A and B are shown apart, each in its own frame.
Chain A
Amino acid sequence: QKEVEQNSGPLSVPEGAIASLNCTYSDRVSQSFFWYRQYSGKSPELIMSIYSNGDKEDGRFTAQLNKASQYVSLLIRDSQPSDSATYLCAFVFAAGNNRKLIWGLGTSLAVNP
C-alpha cells in the first residue's frame, strides 16, 4: 500500500517565524511531489511542486526533496496568520500507464499574531 505520512499537528508558530512541515512517502520510484494548502471550509490549492532532489524556492515558500530518504518538506519563512491552514503532501504513484496522486492526511498550521 502506497502512502504518505504527515504529522497531523496542529503545528503552532509565532508570526514571523519559520514553519517547517514534513512528509515521508513510501514509493521509492516516485518522481513528482506536491504541496497543497487547504483553508478551513475551502478546497485544496497547489502551492508547490518539486521533481528533483534539493530545494525549490517560490517567494516565502521552499520545498525540499530528498529521494534517498523518501522525505519532502515545506518551509514557510516569515509566517503570517494568513498561512494558517492545513497543508497536504501528495506524490505520484505510477504503475504502468496508470498514474495517481497519493495524499497525506495533512498538517494543520496555526500562525499566532
Chain B
Amino acid sequence: ETGVTQTPRHLVMGMTNKKSLKCEQHLGHNAMYWYKQSAKKPLELMFVYSLEERVENNSVPSRFSPECPNSSHLFLHLHTLQPEDSALYLCASSQIAGGGANVLTFGAGSRLTVL
C-alpha cells in the first residue's frame, strides 16, 4: 500500500446510525487532516492532527468525532448525522516542518450519503 488510503469509498447511512471513516497513510508524514468537500463550496478543513495531537478544530459539530491513535491512522466517527452532511470526506497528510506543512497528499475520499 502506498500513499493515503481511505475506507470505505462509499457510505450510505441513516440519521440514527453510527459509522466510522478510516484513513491510513504510508508516507511517513506526521500531520493528518480531515476535509469536507461539498458541491459549490471550497474545501472545508475539519480537523488537523500534528504528531497525533489535535491542533485545530474548525467549529465542527460534535456529531463528527475524530480519533488519531498514531501518526499513520486517522478516524472520523459519525453519529446522528443530518442530510446536509452528505459530502465527500477527504483525508490528507503532510510533513509539519517547513514548507512541507502545506504540501498535502490526499486520499481518494469517502463519499457519504445521509438519508
Give bound CA distance, A102 to B103, whole Å: 13
Do A99 and B101 touch (CB < 8 A)?
yes
Chain B residue nearest in CB terms to A89: B42
Residues in B whose Cβ lies below 8 Å from that of A88 = 43
Do B102 and A32 touch (CB < 8 A)?
yes
Give bound CA distance, A98 to B45, whole Å: 13
Number of B interface residues at 8 Å Cβ cutoff, please give it: 17
Give, as a whole number of angstroms, the nearest-CB distance from B4 to chain A: 8
Taken residue by residue from 23 to 56, chain A's Cβ proximity to chain B (1 for < 8 Å, 0 otherwise) reads as 0000000001010000000111110010100000
Known A100-B56, A101-B45, A105-B40; contact A42-B99, beta-carbon cutoff 8 A: no
Known A103-B42, A105-B41, A105-B42; contact A44-B102, beta-carbon cutoff 8 A: no
- Interface residue from B41, B45, B56, B103 paired with A46 (Cβ < 8 Å): B103
Known A43-B90, A105-B40, A105-B41; contact A99-B108, beta-carbon cutoff 8 A: no
Kindly identify, within residues 53 to 101 of chain A, every residue whose CB is under 8 Å from any CB belonging to chain B. Answer: 88, 92, 98-101
Tell whether B104 is near chain A: CB-to-CB under 8 Å.
Answer: yes
- Name the interface size band of chain A: 20 to 34
Tell whether A21 is near chain B: CB-to-CB under 8 Å.
Answer: no
Residues in B whose Cβ lies below 8 Å from that of A43 = 90, 106-109
Chain B residue nearest in CB terms to A33: B102
Taken residue by residue from 29 to 55, chain B's Cβ proximity to chain A (1 for < 8 Å, 0 otherwise) reads as 000000000001111010000000000
10 more A-B residue pairs beyond the given contacts A46-B105, A101-B45, with a C-beta to C-beta distance below 8 A: A32-B102, A42-B109, A43-B90, A44-B104, A88-B43, A92-B102, A100-B45, A101-B43, A104-B42, A105-B42
